[in-house]
Amino acid sequence: MVKMSHGLRARSRKKLSKRARERGLPPPSRFIQKFEIGDRVAIDIEPAVHKGMPHHKFQGRVGTVVGVRGRAYLVEVKDGGKRKIVISLPVHLKKVS
């Protein structure tokens, strides 16, 4: 019997895939977008960029930017009644109005 994989992208085939016409890298503007502390952002994982990718269980969550760490942002999200800090590059974030 084959042992089950416990990797970071395990059981995320649909979630971390793109449709045919969306394949490839996103535009450069997604990489260099800026956020201020206190901004509300949605975690929208870009499957083509593996660096700075948050865990796929946070896909679609909305949180608040609470800090900056190098080029990455610290986003506070609720997860099961607890507040968690997710470290993510700006390519995986979208501003929520």
pLDDT, tens digit, 9 for 90 and up, residues 42-74: 999 999 999 999 999 999 999 999 999 999 999
The pLDDT value given to residue 97:
80
- Could you give the angle at the alpha carbon of 7 between the alpha carbons of 17 and 90, nearest 5°? 55
Model pTM score: 0.91
The residue range of the domain holding 78 is 26-95
Residue written as token pair 């929208």: 44
pLDDT, tens digit, 9 for 90 and up, residues 72-86: 999 999 999 999 999
- Residue of 74, 77, 76 lying closest to 87 (CA atoms): 74
Residue 32: inside a domain: yes
Please give the backbone phi and psi of residue 22, each rounded to the nearest 5 degrees, phi first.
-100, -5
pLDDT, tens digit, 9 for 90 and up, residues 5-49: 999 999 999 999 999 999 999 999 999 999 999 999 999 999 999
Question: How many structural domains compose the chain?
Answer: 1
- The CATH number covering residue 40 comes to 2.30.30.70
